[in-house]
Amino acid sequence: MQPADAARAALIPLALAQFICSFAGSNMNVMITDMSQDLNTTVHGIQVAITVFLLVMAALMIPGGKLTDKYGRKRCFNIGLVVYGVGALLSAFAPGLGVLILGNSILEGVGTALLIPPVYILATLMFTGVTARAKAFGTISAMAGLGAAAGPLIGGLITTALTWRASFIFQALVIAAIVVLGRRMEDPKPADPARPFDVRGAVLSAVGLILLVLGIMAASVNLWLMIGLIAGGGAVLAAFFWSVRRKERLGQEPLLSTALFRNQTSNLGLITQNAQWLMLMGIAFVVSAYLQVVGGYNAIETGVIFTAATIGLLVASVRAERLATRFSQRGLIVAGFIVTIAGVGVLLGMAYGLSRIIATWPGLFLIGAGVGLMLTPSVNVVQSAFGEAQQGEISGLSRSVSNLGSSLGTAIAGTILVTGIGTSPGASYAFAMIALAAIGLIGMTAAVLMPRTQAARAAPQPV
């Protein structure tokens, strides 16, 4: 098989892996009522499970990216698949919330953190041409967005036709298919077993991020607990960066090089990635929970409503390659935020004017289209800012920032919604959506500030 053919064959399992991990982050949104009743828990309990899954991914993505250099990208990819598959099966037979958190939130989260960094590193190494790499990133990013957007529909169909537990069986079957499809995939670079791994940095970064998000979730429980956890998370993250700088001064290799933060374009691109996923996952949770808890919609009805977002994302993804030849990456990201924020406005503006199903479609379509416009350019901007030697680090950092956005979206918007859903559901829904729109404005500002010459047209440059 020619190298180009091998790369194209490898793209299928890589893109499918990104799809199923994004699917796992959103499909539970339509199962909130079914799962809470079956597992004898509450909406907040399911929110905790979803947020912890996203948080574990974010906390371990940087260490996961670093481990690929030491043990090899394909090996980490395969180990991640196995851990994820075990977690999915455990979740399918969970008797209560605790086992669900162990299987879905912990094991699936760890598995994702191991397998996702190799997806982006392998794509970078296998596709070296400008056009080829742009198409590869476009395919993977589109599958990421599609998984998140289509998760509610697929999850709703499975839950209504069978049971919510079958959704985790579906995930395990997809994982098995990825293992088969990727068996001939080769790692373009050999592993370096002698390469050091910064254990202290890995622990500090993970603990800091976990405390930060848990602090946000604690807002609905106790104000002082929230302040304490957030302050503790900030202190641990400060200790992490102190540890990184100390290792660099001693000539040792830290978990994350401070050089990654000296590139203005990459820094701004990371902010846009965080904001994109924060909005997408936050909106998915808020709308799903509101429709089920307040509107009384079942899983399939909620999933069907979200087809509007899926269609919007697909339309934008299909046009993305052609648009990339006419507009700069910076311009596409800015446009994406404008369309997404407009979608939030439409959702709010039509909430009381029409029947709820019709009222959600235009806004969700715009949100899906906006996210579809900017996912690929944001990945291109960040990954292409660094050379081959730093792909492990930047891939881990990029995925960590994106997944941190996902967990923050569910934590922030979900906490606002859950806090007032029993007393003033309409107001809590509006406040949650307004908070997400404000995050979108921050992301759009970061995109506007990108240097025009570095966030240039179409595709990443060869490394």
**pLDDT tens-digit profile of 87-138?**
999 999 999 998 999 999 899 989 998 888 888 788 877 777 656 766 777 7
- Alpha-carbon distances of 449 from 446, 456, 460, rounded to whole Å: 5, 13, 19
What would the pLDDT profile of 147-164 be if each residue is shown by its tens digit?
A: 877 788 888 888 888 888
How confident is the model over 336-346, as pLDDT tens digits? 999 999 999 98
* pLDDT per position as a tens digit, 54-67: 778 877 887 887 78
3-state secondary structure of 263: coil
How many angstroms separate the CA atoms of 124 and 201, rounded?
Answer: 26
DSSP per residue, 321-382: HHHHTTSBHHHHHHHHHHHHHHHHHHHHHTTTTS-HHHHHHHHHHHHHHHHHHHHHHHHHHH
Determine the residue type at 406: S
DSSP string, 303-322: HHHTHHHHHHHHHHHHHHHH
34 alpha carbon, distance to own chain's centre: 24
Half-sphere exposure of 407 (CA within 13 A, CB side): 29
Q: What's the whole-model pTM score? A: 0.75
pLDDT at res. 354: 42
**Whole-angstrom distance, CA of residue 175 vs CA of residue 64:** 19
Predicted confidence at residue 327, as pLDDT, reads 79
What does the buried/exposed string (b/e) look like for 271-289 if buried means 16 or more CB atoms within 10 Å of the residue's CB? bbbbbbbbbbbbbbbbbbb
Measured CA distances, 128 to 191, 232, 305, 402 (Å)? 20, 43, 40, 24
Tokens 């079958």 belong to which residue? 166
Nearest-angstrom CA–CA distance, 461 and 463: 6
Q: Which amino acid is at 371?
A: V
Q: To which H or E segment does residue 138 belong?
A: helix 130-161
User: Average per-residue pLDDT in the chain?
Assistant: 81
pLDDT in tens, 219-274: 666 778 888 888 998 999 999 989 988 988 888 888 878 877 888 888 898 999 99
Residues listed for the chain? 463
Q: How confident is the model at residue 462 (pLDDT cuts 50, 70, 90)?
A: very low
Report the chain's C-alpha Rg in angstroms. Answer: 21
Q: Which two tokens stand for residue 431?
A: 């406040």
Which residue type sits at 358? Answer: I
User: Residue 460 above 50 pLDDT?
Assistant: no
Over range 276-281, report the average pLDDT.
Answer: 87
> 143: closest CA among 27, 15, 306?
15
251: CB partners within 8 A, 6+ apart: none
For residue 173, what pLDDT band results from cuts at 50, 70 and 90?
very high
Among 333, 362, 327, which residue's Cα sits nearest to residue 348?
A: 362
- The predicted pLDDT at position 463 comes to 30
Q: The domain 3-197+255-448 is classified under which CATH number: 1.10.1040.10, 2.130.10.10, 1.10.10.10, 1.20.1250.20?
A: 1.20.1250.20
Q: Which residues, 6+ apart, have CB-to-CB distance to 220 below 8 Å?
A: 44, 415, 418, 419
| Domain boundaries defined on the chain | 3-197+255-448, 198-254
- 126-158: burial string, b at 16+ Cβ within 10 Å, e else: bbeeeebbbbbbbbbbbbbbbbbbbbbbbbbbb
Cα–Cα dist 261/28, whole Å:
34
Q: How far is 76 from 115, CA to CA, in rounded Å?
A: 6
Distance, CA of 309 to CA of 146 (rounded, Å): 9
